Copies of this chain bind each other. A is one copy, B any other.
């Protein structure tokens, strides 16, 4: 079912500082910061030849990553995102297997403008998994 690794998301307290690490010490190509207010994040993309790393900074009052960054002030890997062809078929197959889909189980439009779902870390090796319809 799952296809490409779309991205690894790393939550940080400052995308400016994190960009300097990836652009400077690691010599990677990093995009300019972009705030996605409705998702409560400011994001930069580290462009690797085969996938990307998303560096996420909390934005606004109700950022979904604010708690994570408060608990991990140095930052940390927040989730991985796998691509699927058909997110509703993927959801139904996952639910049938007994896995928990977060929220109300309906895909939302994610930060890339595509339908996404998140899966319960406890059912996936302690890892928050995002599925994105590619």
Contact = CB atoms under 8 A, between A and B. Distances in A.
Interface of A: 1-5, 8, 10, 12, 18, 21-22, 24-28, 48-51, 53, 55, 72, 74-77, 80, 82, 93-94, 97-99, 121-127, 129
A53 B5 contact: yes
B49 A51 contact: no
Question: Which 3 A-B pairs give the minimum distances between C-beta atoms?
Answer: A1-B27, A75-B126, A74-B126
A93 B80 CA distance: 29
A8, A26, A93, A121 — most chain B CB neighbours (10 Å): A26
B2 A48 contact: yes
A77 B77 contact: yes
A129 B77 CA distance: 11
B55 A125 contact: yes
Given A12-B125, A80-B77, A50 B99 contact: no
A3 B76 contact: no
B50 A125 contact: no
